Structure 1
Amino acid sequence: MRLLERDHPLAVVRDRAARAAEEGGRLVLLAGEAGIGKTVLLRALAEELPREQVLWGMCDALSTPRPLGPLRDVANALGPAVRALLADGAPPHELFAAVLEALRARPRVLVIEDLHWADEATADLVRYLGRRISSLPLLLVLSYRDGPAADHPLVPVVGDLVSLPDTRRVQLAPLSRGAVETLCAGSGLDAAEVHRRTAGNPFFVSQIVAQPESRLPASVREAVLARAAVLDPDHRRHLELLSCTPEPVGGALLAALGVPPGTAEALVGTGLVDRHGDGLAFRHEIARSAVLDAAPGPARDRHAAMIAALEATGGEASVLAHHAAAAGDVPRVLRHAPVAAAEAARSGAHREAVELYRLALGATVEDDRATRAGLLEALGTELYLTDRLAESIDVLTRAVALRRELGDAVAVGALHRIISDYAWYHGDGAAAAEHDRAAREILAGADDLREWGFALANHAYLAAHRGDGPGAARSGEDAQRIAAELADPALHGTAAIGLSIARLLGGDVAARADLLDASATGIRARLDELATAPVSNLAHLDVEQGRFAEADAVLAEALALSERLDVQICTMWQRGVRARLRLLQGRWAEAEEDARAVLDRGEMPLGRLWPRLVLGVLAARRSAPRENPDLDVGWRIATGLDAPGVLAAAVAALAEQSWLLRRPDTRLAEPVVARLLAPPFSGRREALAPVRRWSARLVAAGLPPLPPLPDGPDEPGATDGPADGAWPGRERARPYEHALARWDTGTAGDLLAALPVLDELGAAAVAARFRARLRELGVHGIPRGPAPATRANPQGLTTRQLDVLGLLAEGLSNADIAARLVISPKTADHHVSAVLAKLGVRSRGEAAAAAHRMGVRA
């Protein structure tokens, strides 16, 4: 079929290929509906280039996609290092680094088709390459169907990639009526009617023009089936057999399926199938689906034939599992699905691993408890890695019951320890403690010293966060003694986390080095969570104990590590901690950006703790809204954890909001607050310092005070480090707290001196209180602060929020804003809410009016 009305998009892609070879890599996102001609356009480009320069990978429409399917398609061309790592199931970060190195060798064009069917690992790969594209002589072209649902996994991937500076998005449009007339010339077809029926879809037009003697079909399906109808029954049967797999069918598989050369020629003659190497492939997924849906007889028979041929020719486990499920072949599902799931997990395709483990579980019989327990344990891990903690805990609880029936005490104890860990991430401190207790009770008497050591290490971690320094020290040291006896560096590093947290909370800054050593152990041992968890905790404690320079350095390294290893819980936690750090440093726009990014990334409650508290505090300081959902959610998460340091920060946030609103907050009288303030705990002095200040301010404002705060150190001999305010450079490091300290002195001079700081921060609600206080003191000529109509960036709006405000002024809905900015609808909702809060307005109309006053346009 002729390539019409594609000169401009082809020129764009051709230009990007030339620039990639000469100036550094480029990325093209090629979007359009099914049949719009994405593949035809890319083939036209490929024909202009040396064959060895073009790499072509496909994402398949399998029920569960092949992990890294496109990479497997091009692995041979990338060299032996990539092939070996792929075959060995190497961790994604090692495999991706090898791919990157292979692509540096010479200019290439890497096409990945049908990204809307990509597995999770492939999505991670294109993100990885996209972020590094400028360092490669590579044109990376990703084709996909546009208009996916808001919750489609492709949406955040495209959102990430389209924002990269070297990315160009190309949208293919339907053919015009004139182009359809050109294609229909000499066929006797009514071009206007063809254009009306096809809406200018090139694939549909091509099917109609190829059979002008037939009646005009009503759909693509009819056009495809009319072309298949010319085949004799035997050839058509083979076409229908091939339609049950979306992948190209190689020569060996054709032979195993009994497709003779003459039949292959006849199938190519229909125009529905093309030659693909020594095999065949459907020209388009539309054609394959049409043939598949119309094929007579039970589909399971075709899938059964396909799986037998695949087994004979060494097919991939994920493809075998797909056909076994479609054939209803339970033994083969049990044979292939767990293998495919494990391969998917190793590749980083954790969503696909979940589906494959579920498929295997569905094929097991109820009385095969050992098999079911093993599959449930593997599924629980993958659910955790895909941010489905509640499901993960439920699945692992079912595994506990099966292991208990099997009399496997060690497995039961180990599962309780794992569930304890996941419950903590889920924000359920009580459940974490209960499972921790159960694990230690069982494993203390079991004959497995290593599992007992890990149970002690977990207890040390939880005890440290509860502020039980002595308990954490005892368990952590016992675990490390076991690690020494077993010569187990992984256990030693894991135990060091809780032990070091307890030491840091007790004032022993030398424990920082132990956390860094534990992370290094994890990196050497390829234990991703051990590599990232120590630095996650270190960054948090550096922030809370005022070591801001050290926190910045640790966070930079930790985030790079967690992103590289794709440990989502640690990435979320670290970026949330950075949001907290930026809040304390007075870098509020950056704090908000980090917080929003975390909330868009996942649902894990522990990871969302700091972002919610940060956003809630910012809202209170900027506009003091009467409803503050972010602070409400942050409070719920904080009270679910048994972590006094975190709870103290949430109490301080509620007290600050109460002071700003001049109204009591009944939550501050709840028993959880009294329990926080009554007993000693490690790190108490630093944690409670902000609570003490806000308690005093509440009393001064005539509001109900907090319960009495204790005095003195946690226990005899304990030290908490310097009292709040004694850290070097605290005033410079914490501008907002320094400004609030001037409120406490109450002098007119101090209040006036604080106003520029508050105005610069965008703390409009707080500044309003200062100005009201000054008026009460009889001060005249109080600076009014920056006027919204004359400020370039009112209320501290981020660059993205200014974009959103401009689109609000145009009257766009949240969905339209999301589409215009290529962000998820959830992200658009967050940004709109933030804009309304910062501007102190209650409706989109008021925001639009404010935008017009300020001269903000889209």
Structure 2
Amino acid sequence: MRLLERDHPLAVVRDRAARAAEGGGRLVLLAGEAGIGKTVLLRTLAEELPREQVLWGMCDALSTPRPLGPLRDVAHALGPGVTTLLTDGAPPHEVFAAVLDALRARPRTLVIEDLHWADDATADLVRYLGRRISSLPLLLVLSYRDGLAADHPLVPVVGDLVSLPDTRRVQLAPLSRGAVEQLCAGSGLDAGEVHRRTAGNPFYVSQIVAQPESRLPASVREAVLARAAVLDPEHRRCLELLSCTPEPVGAALLAALGVPPATVEALVGTGLVDRHGDGLAFRHEIARSAVLDAAPGPAVDRHAAMIAALEATGGDASVLAHHSAAAGDVPRVLRHARAAAAEAARSGAHRQSAELYRLALEATEQITGNHEAPATALVEPTTRAELMEALGTELYLTDRLAEAIDVLTRAVGLRRELGDAVAVGAGHRTISDYAWYHGDGAAAAEHDRAAREILAGADDPREWGFALANHAYLAAHRGDGPGAARAGQDAQQIAEELADPALHGTAAIGLSIARLLGGDVAARTDLLDASATGVRRKLDELATAPVSNLAHLDVEQGRFAEADAVLADALALSERLDVQICTMWQRGVRARLRLLQGRWAEAEEDARAVLDRGEMPLGRLWPRLVLGVLTARRSAPPDNPDLDVGWRIATGLDAPAALAAAVAALAEQAWLLRRPDPRLAEPVVARLLAEPFSGRGQTLAPVRRWSARMVAAGLPPLPPVPDGPEPEDHADEGDRPYERALGLWDSGEPADLLAALPALDELGAAAVAARFRARLRELGVNGIPRGPAPATRANPAGLTARQLDVLGLLVEGLSNADIAARLVISPRTADHHVSAVLAKLGVRSRGEAAAAARRMGVRA
């Protein structure tokens, strides 16, 4: 079919390919509805490039896609290193690093089709390459269907990629009526009617135009089936057989299925399938689905034939699991889904791994519930328990903590029935860990207690050591320094006896937190050493958890310079290892740091990025408190949902540091609103202020200051905060501009209040500045400087109306060319506008401009 009305998008992709060949990598996001011509356009481009330069991978419409399926399609062209790592099930960061090295060698074009079907690991891979694209001689083209639901996994991926400076999004539009008329010329078809029925979709048009002698079909399905109807029965049977797999079918599989070369030629002749490497693939998923849905006879037989051929040719476990489930072959589902789940987990496709483990677990239930099954077919309870435990881990890694805790609780019950005390204790320890991340301090403590009671008497010193390490960690966060020290030291002694560096490093986390809270700054080194052990041993959580905790303590204890350095390294490490829970926590801690440093725009950007990324309550603690405090300081609204959520998370944890921060935030809001907050009179606050805990002086210092301000404002006082010396504050005087301004409020002198106003206005703390000005008026001060006008606050960069329009389109993710088309201006003028917007906002990239726009209230 001729390529019509695609000159502009094809020119864009050609230009990007040329720039990439010169050494500056480019990324193209090619979007459009099914059948809009994404593949045809990319094949046209590929034909213009040297064959060895083009790598082509596809995401599959499987119920659970192959992990890193597109990479497996092209691995042979990237060298034996990548292939070996994939075969050996290496961790994702090692595979990704090898791919990066291979792509540096020479100019390439890497096409990944149908990204909307991508597994998690493939999504992580394109993010990884996208962030490094400028250093590669690579054109990376990602095609996907637009109009995805808001909760589709691809939406945040596209959001990340479109904000990168080397990315261009290309949207394919339907054909015009004029283009359809050209395609229908000489066919005798009513072009207007064809355009109406197809809405200008090129694939739909092609199917109708291919059969001008037939009456105009009512649907594309009818058009597809009409083309299949010309095949003789044997050829059609083969077409129907191939339609049951969404993957391309290679030569070896075709042979195993008994599809002869003559049949291959006949199938290609229909125009429904194309040659793909040494095999075949349907031209479009629409055509495959139409043939599949219309195929006569039981689908089970076709899937059974496909299973036999795949097993004979060494097919992927995930593909075999797909066909086993479709064939209702429960024993094979168990075998292949379990293998595929493990492979997906190793590849970093944790969402797919969880679904496969769930599929395997359901298979065990079907087998167990089948009373007619032979005894040899029954599933051992140990196998069910292992599947539950593996599923729990994958649910945890995909931020589904409540489900993870539920399935692990069932696994513990099954292990208890089996009399496996060590596994029961280990299960309680794991649930304790997950409950803490879920923000349930009481459940974490209860499972911690159960784990220690069971494992103390079990003959497994290593599991006992890990139970002690978990207890040390929880005790340290509760402020129980002596308890954390005892448990941590006992765990490290076991580690030394077993020569177990992983246990030693894990125990160091809780022990070092307790030491830091007690003022022993030398414990920082132990946390860094524990992280280094995790990196060397390829234990991702041990690599990231120590620095996550160190960054938090550096911030809370005022070591801002050290915190900045730790966070930079920790975030790079967590992103590289794809430990999302630690990435969320670290970015939330950085939001807290930026708030204290007076870098409020960056604090808000980090906080919102975390809330957009995951649901883990512990990871959302600091972002919610940061956003709630910023809202109070900027406008002091009567309702503050972010602060409400932050309060609920903080009160769910048995952690004085989190609760004290939430109490201080509520007290500050009450002071700004001049309205009591009943939550500050709850027993949990009285306990926080009355009971001893490690690091008490520094933790309660902000609460003590806000308590005094509330009393001075005539508000109900907080419960008594015991006096005591505050430990040394490591932060420089200039590190905390907002706190410095509040210190001037505390002096009460008019000169100090006046001196604080410029800093408050610059920060954007409009509600606080209004409080200062009101106090100055009460003191009879004249000539009080006015604050920024409302329009200036809404548009602090002083953008013109046209620049505001451009900024809104940047939020929408449009390229400069798309902005030019939308605003009916020349591309050069659009370039000038975008450059001016970036300059006025003081940002370096389109992504940063979009983030600034959201802070200003500019929407797409």
Q: Structures share a fold, TM > 0.5?
A: yes
1:680: how far off?
Answer: 1.1
| Cα distance, 1:371–1:844 mapped onto 2, change above 3 Å | closer
Deviation string 1:608-648 (CA, Å, 9 cap, x unpaired) is 00000001111111111100110010011001110111111
| Cα distance, 1:600–1:542 mapped onto 2, change above 3 Å | same
Query: Distance in 2 between the 1:292 and 1:734 partners?
Result: 65
Deviation string 1:774-801 (CA, Å, 9 cap, x unpaired) is 1111111111122223468449999999
| Cα distance, 1:822–1:476 mapped onto 2, change above 3 Å | farther
Deviation string 1:251-279 (CA, Å, 9 cap, x unpaired) is 11111111122222211111111222322
| Cα distance, 1:355–1:619 mapped onto 2, change above 3 Å | same
Query: Distance in 1 between the 2:639 and 2:646 partners?
Result: 13
| Cα distance, 1:797–1:623 mapped onto 2, change above 3 Å | farther
| Cα distance, 1:77–1:466 mapped onto 2, change above 3 Å | same
Q: For the Cα contact (< 8 Å) 1:635–1:650, is it kept in 2?
A: yes
Q: For the Cα contact (< 8 Å) 1:596–1:830, is it kept in 2?
A: no
1:839: how far off?
Answer: 18
Q: Which is further off, 801-810 or 199-208? A: 801-810
Query: Distance in 1 between the 2:385 and 2:823 partners?
Result: 46
Structure 1 spans left out of the alignment, 5+ residues: 717-730
Query: Distance in 2 between the 1:653 and 1:837 partners?
Result: 35
Superposed CA RMSD in Å reads 5.5
| Cα distance, 1:569–1:838 mapped onto 2, change above 3 Å | farther
| Cα distance, 1:689–1:336 mapped onto 2, change above 3 Å | same
1:610 aligns with 2:622: yes
1:418: how far off?
Answer: 0.5
| Cα distance, 1:849–1:154 mapped onto 2, change above 3 Å | closer
Q: Which is further off, 449-458 or 7-16? A: 7-16
Q: For the Cα contact (< 8 Å) 1:600–1:827, is it kept in 2?
A: no
Q: For the Cα contact (< 8 Å) 2:169–2:814, is it kept in 1?
A: no
SS in 2 for 1:791: helix
Query: Distance in 2 between the 1:64 and 1:124 partners?
Result: 16
Q: Which is further off, 841-850 or 553-562? A: 841-850
Q: For the Cα contact (< 8 Å) 2:114–2:142, is it kept in 1?
A: yes
1:212: how far off?
Answer: 1.1
Deviation string 1:79-117 (CA, Å, 9 cap, x unpaired) is 010000011111111100000000000000000001111
Deviation string 1:40-77 (CA, Å, 9 cap, x unpaired) is 11111111111100000000100100000000000000
Q: For the Cα contact (< 8 Å) 2:17–2:139, is it kept in 1?
A: yes
Of residues 664, 675, 678, the one that matches 2:676 is 664
Q: For the Cα contact (< 8 Å) 1:108–1:139, is it kept in 2?
A: yes
Structure 2 spans left out of the alignment, 5+ residues: 362-374, 728-732
Residue in 1 that maps onto 2:128: 128
Q: Which is further off, 16-25 or 412-421? A: 16-25
1:669: how far off?
Answer: 0.8
Query: Distance in 1 between the 2:296 and 2:642 partners?
Result: 56
Q: Which is further off, 83-92 or 838-847? A: 838-847
1:139: how far off?
Answer: 0.4
> 5 Å matches for 1:335-734?
335-361=335-361, 368-712=380-724, 731-734=733-736
1:809: how far off?
Answer: 14
Query: Distance in 2 between the 1:447 and 1:258 partners?
Result: 57
Q: For the Cα contact (< 8 Å) 1:334–1:364, is it kept in 2?
A: no
**TM-score with structure 2 setting the length:** 0.91
Q: Could you tell me the percent identity over the aligned residues?
A: 91
1:440: how far off?
Answer: 0.2
Q: For the Cα contact (< 8 Å) 2:601–2:852, is it kept in 1?
A: no
Query: Distance in 1 between the 2:26 and 2:574 partners?
Result: 26
1:711: how far off?
Answer: 3.3
**TM-score with structure 1 setting the length:** 0.91
Q: For the Cα contact (< 8 Å) 1:619–1:837, is it kept in 2?
A: no
1:128: how far off?
Answer: 0.5
Query: Distance in 2 between the 1:301 and 1:383 partners?
Result: 34
Query: Distance in 1 between the 2:398 and 2:851 partners?
Result: 42
Q: For the Cα contact (< 8 Å) 2:60–2:114, is it kept in 1?
A: yes
Q: Which is further off, 252-261 or 301-310? A: 252-261
1:21: how far off?
Answer: 0.6
Q: For the Cα contact (< 8 Å) 1:159–1:823, is it kept in 2?
A: no
1:545: how far off?
Answer: 0.3
Q: For the Cα contact (< 8 Å) 2:465–2:491, is it kept in 1?
A: yes
1:246: how far off?
Answer: 0.8
| Cα distance, 1:46–1:828 mapped onto 2, change above 3 Å | closer
Between the two proteins, the alignment pairs up a number of residues equal to 842
Q: For the Cα contact (< 8 Å) 1:762–1:796, is it kept in 2?
A: no
Deviation string 1:543-590 (CA, Å, 9 cap, x unpaired) is 000000000000000000111111111111100001100111111111
| Cα distance, 1:833–1:440 mapped onto 2, change above 3 Å | farther
SS in 2 for 1:111: strand
Q: For the Cα contact (< 8 Å) 1:678–1:709, is it kept in 2?
A: yes
| Cα distance, 1:851–1:77 mapped onto 2, change above 3 Å | closer
Query: Distance in 2 between the 1:599 and 1:800 partners?
Result: 31
| Cα distance, 1:108–1:550 mapped onto 2, change above 3 Å | same
| Cα distance, 1:611–1:24 mapped onto 2, change above 3 Å | same
Q: For the Cα contact (< 8 Å) 2:120–2:351, is it kept in 1?
A: yes
| Cα distance, 1:88–1:841 mapped onto 2, change above 3 Å | closer
| Cα distance, 1:845–1:189 mapped onto 2, change above 3 Å | closer
| Cα distance, 1:814–1:96 mapped onto 2, change above 3 Å | closer
Q: For the Cα contact (< 8 Å) 1:96–1:125, is it kept in 2?
A: yes
Q: For the Cα contact (< 8 Å) 2:23–2:138, is it kept in 1?
A: no
Q: For the Cα contact (< 8 Å) 1:788–1:854, is it kept in 2?
A: no
| Cα distance, 1:309–1:11 mapped onto 2, change above 3 Å | same
| Cα distance, 1:72–1:645 mapped onto 2, change above 3 Å | same
Query: Distance in 2 between the 1:490 and 1:515 partners?
Result: 13
| Cα distance, 1:815–1:522 mapped onto 2, change above 3 Å | farther
| Cα distance, 1:23–1:80 mapped onto 2, change above 3 Å | closer
Q: For the Cα contact (< 8 Å) 2:164–2:847, is it kept in 1?
A: no
Q: For the Cα contact (< 8 Å) 1:55–1:77, is it kept in 2?
A: yes
Query: Distance in 2 between the 1:23 and 1:841 partners?
Result: 25
SS in 2 for 1:625: coil
1:250: how far off?
Answer: 1.1
1:391: how far off?
Answer: 0.5
Query: Distance in 1 between the 2:639 and 2:839 partners?
Result: 10
| Cα distance, 1:835–1:595 mapped onto 2, change above 3 Å | farther
Q: For the Cα contact (< 8 Å) 2:605–2:851, is it kept in 1?
A: no
| Cα distance, 1:472–1:365 mapped onto 2, change above 3 Å | farther
SS in 2 for 1:280: strand
Q: For the Cα contact (< 8 Å) 2:481–2:514, is it kept in 1?
A: yes
Query: Distance in 1 between the 2:474 and 2:783 partners?
Result: 55
Q: For the Cα contact (< 8 Å) 2:672–2:767, is it kept in 1?
A: yes
| Cα distance, 1:852–1:455 mapped onto 2, change above 3 Å | closer
| Cα distance, 1:830–1:520 mapped onto 2, change above 3 Å | farther
Q: For the Cα contact (< 8 Å) 2:165–2:845, is it kept in 1?
A: no
Deviation string 1:422-445 (CA, Å, 9 cap, x unpaired) is 000000000000000000000000
1:298: how far off?
Answer: 1.4
SS in 1 for 2:17: helix
Q: For the Cα contact (< 8 Å) 1:30–1:172, is it kept in 2?
A: yes
Q: For the Cα contact (< 8 Å) 1:622–1:765, is it kept in 2?
A: yes
Q: Which is further off, 836-845 or 441-450? A: 836-845
| Cα distance, 1:566–1:751 mapped onto 2, change above 3 Å | same
Q: For the Cα contact (< 8 Å) 2:429–2:451, is it kept in 1?
A: yes
1:368: how far off?
Answer: 3.7
1:802: how far off?
Answer: 7.2
Query: Distance in 2 between the 1:646 and 1:828 partners?
Result: 47
Query: Distance in 1 between the 2:836 and 2:253 partners?
Result: 57
| Cα distance, 1:379–1:835 mapped onto 2, change above 3 Å | farther
1:33: how far off?
Answer: 1.1
| Cα distance, 1:819–1:326 mapped onto 2, change above 3 Å | farther
1:525: how far off?
Answer: 0.4
Query: Distance in 1 between the 2:504 and 2:823 partners?
Result: 48
Q: Which is further off, 468-477 or 167-176? A: 167-176
Query: Distance in 2 between the 1:840 and 1:15 partners?
Result: 29
SS in 2 for 1:795: coil
1:534: how far off?
Answer: 0.3
1:851: how far off?
Answer: 12
Deviation string 1:728-751 (CA, Å, 9 cap, x unpaired) is xxx311111111111111111111
SS in 2 for 1:109: strand
| Cα distance, 1:395–1:696 mapped onto 2, change above 3 Å | same
Q: For the Cα contact (< 8 Å) 1:589–1:797, is it kept in 2?
A: no
